Structure 1
């Protein structure tokens, strides 16, 4: 996933993809500017990036070897060592893009043995890419350390592995603060429960993810947020973040009855609608129903959410409440009564549009795969670690989905794996036409 792109006849596409990934790194940004203003070959850009990233990794290895960072006098005193940095020496190694010269740090005692560029090696390895790939696949730092030692005979400290994975934090920040589209017809919101160490205790927190569908029907992951508790304050911050990044209007927000969200959405984007996920309502209603009766209850409730208008839906719910099943399971009726205000916007839409906002499955499928990937992790060390890990895992999931779409001959964006662009919503053209005709005042100025 994090491997530098191979040779491609379309150099511009390659450069754009790389710039999107590493624009926050000053050294890389300088190289990109130089490339734009000169006739330098794209391979020169890649070699420059390799040089900057490898040198950074080698310095992290030296930090782990000495036990303190460069210039940290207090750290050196705490370690109690006479060993210290002793400059560096250049070393040229071969790569897929030609020779790369890196600066290998030295220590006074001569005990530092670099792992990323081993002594005597004349060719660059992809061990840093392998580490990030394993980390994105769900392995912990300790698991990666053991895996490399047993399969490749490479002994890398967990501090060095952590430093290599931390290198993506700049990329995460660029992605998390990137500019967004002015208008999204639909935004889906959902949460994933995780355990995070906070203040010396391991507590449950929620990782919230937003997926926006643009006018072309392409799904975009808009952001990730970690919070201990949901509420009006949290959703005010989320909506404010999206608005500050360029989102001026949202037609409908589909979620699972998140507390405080409707008020935050309406305060940020007046005229927007908040729609409760129908599938979540069905599941919540069936939670109080015995297994043998669930099919019959679901069939009765189907008359409610497939009704052509609100009066017909209300009549169907009254009929269910008065039936034998309704009297047997009053809590199921109450679930729909309590959510009625946030359910009824659904009834305003024609059939094709209803299929789009019927469920938040497009975001839940992500969360299901994230749950599998985080199964090995008992806890995250902090919020930053959780964001980094989840982002890498989502990259991994997106890459696999993009590869599947390419295999099926479907449209694929060159940046799909960078969370900029995902798959297209099924039946979107029909749905957007129906919404635009039903609500011309909301869509005409953006079409």
Structure 2
């Protein structure tokens, strides 16, 4: 993955200016662009302007995609195709917040925070806000993960020791947040694994 001449010149200019944050954004943008172009080449079956028998479609320009990263916002140009669609696996489609904000939204939901307060929390963390439907979509994923964890089989190992404890937590019950006792069971195998 070689960088094109203009991308290298931008990196050199940022390095000369001494702006470390801008240098990181430029380097990240160039790297992401090179990865997207390589994936597009593999998807299409040919390089740009290359004639090939393995080509399954043609490029049809680019569209800009703003990607929010920890280094700042970067713009990546995503190639369009004439037939079918292409979206790089590197970027999740329709993903508006990154993984850290995802975790914050999930934790807030678990603790019973309202969707309006979650939106305020995301804005306070430097995000652009989050809609109620986005919070619901994220939390539906969380509900699926919790259900899978709760229904996993426990009969794969023997647990000769089981420790029980209880604590009170805020929980969402019938669209209300109430205090409920939660029993925590810790099973320990014969070789000492929990």
- Aligning the two structures, in what range does the TM-score lie when normalised by the shorter sequence? 0.3 to 0.5
Higher relative contact order (CA 8 A, sep 6+): 1
What TM-score, normalized by structure 1, do the two folds share?
Answer: 0.20
Which of the two has greater helix per residue?
1
Greater radius of gyration (CA): 1
Structure number having the greater strand percentage: 2
